[in-house]
Copies of this chain bind each other. A is one copy, B any other.
Amino acid sequence: MENMLERERKETILRLLDLHTYTTIHDVVEATGASEATIRRDFIQLEQNNFLRRVRGGVELIPSENGNERHHELPSFNRRKNINREKKRRIAKKAASYISEGDTIIIDGGTTTFHMVEYIASMSLQVITNSFAVAEHLINHSNCTVILPEGTVDPNSQLILNNLSSDPFQNYTAFRAFMGIEGITKNTLTNNDPLVIQTERAMIEHAQEVVILADESKFHIIGSLTLCPIERVTRIITTGDADPQRLSAIREHGVDVQQI
């Protein structure tokens, strides 16, 4: 990451903002390799041109005025992805660390897995995803090849949904599938939406390894529908505050549980 042009830095800042609606000086320093002072100056200039608003510690998107064009404000998804943002990013970063250049991977929709795009944008991957949000960022900001299933895009969840196709991914095979879920018991992964679970089952079907991204809360939730038995899972990435007893119960099924 040698000596970025000013323009590249500013694009990076705006991209991070697009991704997270808020970003810190430190994030940008890390992403660009420039010094804190320089990033501060960039912030000031971008603020003067009305691209963002400075707040203590970082910058944020200018809230879209009511009824304004720019970003109809993806109601639910954009808000939800920022809930427990830093935890989700930590999990996503760890998940991304298992990916190698050139891999073919599946990325499930959802707010936790979404944060993986930040960490894979610099790689060249084949990415199969049912998340329109993931697709959008990778297509416009990376060299990844993006493969989408057929379906209707739900603006709230930014998921591509389909109940017409028995196997939306019949044409594809991936090394790893990175999945979000709604709930984990010691025996099964669960979810609530029948439309979503259909696609997710297909994803698991077509991946050799299944990696689950799950913050601590998932261990308290049981969805009404079974996604798959826990043995099918290769690895679970979760945070340090997850209940050790539950984790060791899961480990007994041969699952590699990573806490970060």
Contact = CB atoms under 8 A, between A and B. Distances in A.
Contact of A139 (B7, B51, B132): B132
Interface stretch (A95-103, A143-151, A186-194, A206-214): A143-151
Interface stretch (A81-89, A152-160, A173-181, A232-240): A152-160
A116 interface: no
A58 B5 contact: yes
Contacts of A49: 69
A66 interface: no
Contacts of A148: 148, 150-153, 160
A150 B171 contact: yes
A52 to B, nearest CB: 11
Contacts of A5: 22, 24, 55-58
Interface in A179-203: none
A11 B150 contact: no
A6 interface: yes
A44 to B, nearest CB: 16
A70 B70 CA distance: 12
A153 B164 contact: no
A72 interface: yes
A224 to B, nearest CB: 26
B150 A7 contact: no
Given A151-B147, A152-B146, A72 B11 contact: yes
Q: Which 7 residue pairs spanning A and B have beta carbons closest together?
A: A150-B150, A164-B171, A146-B153, A5-B57, A73-B140, A147-B152, A72-B141
15 contacts: A5-B22, A5-B24, A5-B55, A5-B58, A8-B22, A49-B69, A69-B141, A71-B140, A73-B141, A132-B136, A139-B153, A139-B158, A148-B153, A149-B150, A150-B171
